[in-house]
């Protein structure tokens, strides 16, 4: 049989890490990863389903690949969140799919698939492991990276123990489980030895790292230890629940030169009534964000918002809109509420009309586009460190890179017309010469490649961190 396998990873970077682990497992079981579906005898789709759009994308992708089974593909495997959530229903609805694997055993998919294919077709079990995953990630999980060689995601925990009333993730992924620090460090060390310069820490709530374990090794300790690894130049942290914004974490981000001053804090809303109905604990998010601005005035603050939550009134939405205009987040994403079966919010009344949800999202995005445009105009003429990711797909004569405030596939990029290919995978000084709404345009400065030693000032042209007279606020 054709043992070449193509894996399609849907959803977020956390899912991408799972996909990379699956690929390594498939490879060690004798399967051969290929980058095109047309060349593959086996197709694996790692699905997402946290909102309607994600479910739809997963179903569409499965149906699109069912058609390939009429040609070269012999085996179609579906795994991940959609399987965990809908399990046996999918087995009936999608008879063309050969094998479904839930989250708990997904990392062993290589072994499961080898055993599955060794059986006669009539003896094959089509579904595996859909009990809720409660396993800790307590053993090393090798991966085949799918990101460019110089950056990688590192998953520091899985699951979530918050109980946001709109969210199905805890039911799919189980309670919050941090990975042992030694395991993360050994992975990061290995990545650095293989040329990774930037690691991006991910989890459902990175700020909660260590809170579920007896040892008191929390996110600030982890950042400090990771920063000692030679070769790593940037540490970026995604998804910090506002509840976790404590002084020690902010101080670490401020003081640790390798830690990007980029705070991704999904607040969802600001109206106390909406936040209460959402089950979002942790005090006034506005106070917390103002505090971050005060302590880290040059940090890039990103958030994600949820509009059209059940019962959201015009006044509550206006409160959010006003805050977005005043606070001027460096970037934000807006989701429209998705009524998810099995969540408390799905039963709340009144549900907001879907057109109102869309219209509220559009209004927020319009406001934010103007803010981003203005912020980008102010960046013209300034010089930033840029990690050069590769060639621009639209025009391979240009390079694409990212500053500390640009996360791959989430924020904009820096377009570098005529940049030298030798810069790919390196951090260079780039002067911003223009902008194009969410993206910047820049020129590499002469002799701009960095040694691996640098200071916090390298993030900024102005270099006005740290602000020592604000130290008292950390106490
Ligand atoms: S913090 Fe809330 S929204 Fe985020 S994964 Fe956990 S339950 Fe879902």
Q: Residue 359 in contact with residue 300, Cβ under 8 Å? A: no
* CATH 3.80.30.20 domain range(s) in the chain: 151-378
Give the count of beta carbons closer than 10 Å to the beta carbon of residue 420: 12
Computed over every residue of the chain, the mean pLDDT equals 89
Ligand 1 pocket residue status of 205, Cβ below 6 Å: yes
Which run of H or E residues covers position 100? strand 99-101
Strand bridging mode 414-417 / 42-47 = unpaired
Which residue, 466, 462, 425, 5, is CA-closest to 234? 425
Domain topology for 380-459: OB fold (Dihydrolipoamide Acetyltransferase, E2P) (2.40.50)
Indicate the pTM of the whole model.
Answer: 0.91
> Residue 71: is it exposed, middle or buried by C-beta count within 10 angstroms (0-12/13-18/19+)?
exposed
Interval between CA 349 and ligand 1 midpoint (Å): 21
449-470 pLDDT, tens digit each: 554 444 444 555 433 333 333 3
CA-to-CA dists, residue 158 to 102, 116, 170, 177, 282, angstroms: 15, 27, 10, 5, 21
Alpha carbon distance 416, 434 (integer Å)? 10
* Atom of ligand 1 lying closest to residue 170 CA: 7
Length of the chain: 475
pLDDT of residue 463: 35
Which residue, 51, 197, 204, 224, is CA-closest to 137? 204
* CATH 2.40.50.140 domain range(s) in the chain: 380-459
CA-to-CA dists, residue 84 to 10, 43, 145, 337, angstroms: 15, 19, 24, 22
Q: Residue 186 in contact with residue 221, Cβ under 8 Å? A: no
Ligand 1 pocket residue status of 343, Cβ below 6 Å: no
157-191 pLDDT, tens digit each: 999 999 999 999 999 999 999 999 999 999 999 99
CA-to-CA dists, residue 306 to 6, 267, 355, 360, 472, angstroms: 34, 9, 15, 10, 34
Pick from 48, 49, 205, 267 the residue to mutate for probing ligand 1's pocket: most ligand atoms within 8 Å of its CB: 205
Q: Residue 69 in contact with residue 78, Cβ under 8 Å? A: no
pLDDT of residue 454: 41
Q: Residue 407 in contact with residue 264, Cβ under 8 Å? A: yes
Ligand 1 pocket residue status of 274, Cβ below 6 Å: no
Low-confidence ranges of the chain (pLDDT < 50): 451-457, 461-475
Architecture, CATH, for domain 151-378: Alpha-Beta Horseshoe (3.80)
CA-closest residue to ligand 1 atom 1? 162
Ligand 1 pocket residue status of 111, Cβ below 6 Å: no
* Atom of ligand 1 lying closest to residue 280 CA: 2
pLDDT of residue 453: 41
CA-closest residue to ligand 1 atom 8? 167
237-288 pLDDT, tens digit each: 999 999 999 899 999 999 999 999 999 999 999 999 999 999 997 778 999 9
Interval between CA 163 and ligand 1 midpoint (Å): 7
pLDDT of residue 130: 64
Cross-strand bridge partners of residue 414: 401, 440
pLDDT of residue 121: 84
pLDDT of residue 133: 55
Output the CA angle 31-89-49, nearest 5 degrees: 70
pLDDT of residue 132: 60
Q: Which residue has the tokens 């030693």?
A: 453
Which run of H or E residues covers position 117? helix 109-118
CATH code 3.40.50.12160 for 4-128: yes
């Amino acid at each position: 049989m054709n043992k070449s396998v193509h894996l399609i990873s849907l959803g977020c970077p956390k899912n991408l890490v799972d996909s990379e682990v699956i690929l390594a497992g498939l490879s060690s079981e004798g399967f051969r990863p290929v980058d095109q579906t047309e060349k593959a005898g086996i197709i694996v789709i790692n699905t997402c389903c946290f909102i309607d759009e994600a479910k739809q994308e997963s179903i569409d992708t499965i149906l699109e690949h069912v058609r390939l089974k009429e040609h070269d593909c012999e085996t179609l495997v579906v795994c991940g969140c959609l399987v965990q959530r809908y399990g046996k229903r999918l087995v009936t609805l999608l008879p063309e799919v050969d094998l479904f694997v839930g989250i708990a055993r997904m990392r062993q998919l290589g072994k499961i698939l080898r055993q599955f294919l060794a059986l006669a077709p009539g003896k094959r079990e089509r579904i595996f492991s859909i009990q809720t995953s409660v396993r800790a990630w307590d053993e090393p999980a090798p991966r085949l990276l799918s990101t460019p060689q110089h950056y990688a995601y590192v998953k520091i925990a899985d699951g979530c123990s918050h109980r946001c009333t709109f969210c199905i993730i805890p039911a799919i992924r189980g309670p919050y489980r941090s990975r042992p620090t030694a395991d993360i460090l050994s992975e990061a060390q290995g990545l650095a030895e293989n040329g990774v310069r930037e690691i991006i820490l991910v989890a459902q709530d990175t700020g909660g790292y260590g809170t579920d374990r007896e040892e008191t090794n929390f996110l600030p300790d982890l950042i400090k230890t990771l920063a000692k690894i030679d070769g790593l130049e940037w540490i970026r942290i995604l998804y910090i629940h506002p509840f976790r914004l404590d002084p020690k974490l902010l101080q670490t981000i401020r003081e640790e030169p390798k830690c990007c001053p980029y705070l991704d804090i999904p607040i969802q809303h600001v109206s106390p009534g909406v936040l209460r109905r959402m089950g979002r604990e942790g005090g006034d998010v506005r106070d917390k964000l103002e505090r971050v601005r005060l302590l880290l005035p040059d940090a890039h603050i990103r958030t994600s918002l949820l509009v059209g939550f059940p019962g959201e009134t015009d006044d509550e939405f206006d409160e959010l809109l006003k805050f977005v205009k005043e606070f001027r987040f460096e970037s934000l994403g807006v989701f429209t509420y998705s009524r998810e079966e099995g969540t408390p919010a799905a039963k709340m009344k009144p549900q907001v009309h879907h057109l109102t949800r869309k219209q509220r999202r559009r209004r927020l995005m319009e406001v934010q586009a103007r803010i981003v445009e203005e912020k980008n105009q102010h960046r013209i003429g300034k010089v930033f460190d840029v990690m050069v990711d590769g060639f621009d797909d639209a025009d391979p004569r240009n390079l694409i890179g990212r500053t500390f405030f640009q996360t791959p596939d989430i924020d904009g990029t820096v377009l570098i017309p005529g940049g030298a290919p030798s810069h790919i995978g390196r951090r260079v000084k780039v002067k911003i010469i223009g902008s194009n709404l969410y993206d910047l345009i820049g020129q590499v400065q002469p002799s701009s490649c960095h040694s691996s030693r640098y200071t916090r000032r390298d993030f900024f042209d102005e270099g006005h961190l740290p602000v020592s007279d604000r130290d008292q606020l950390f106490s």
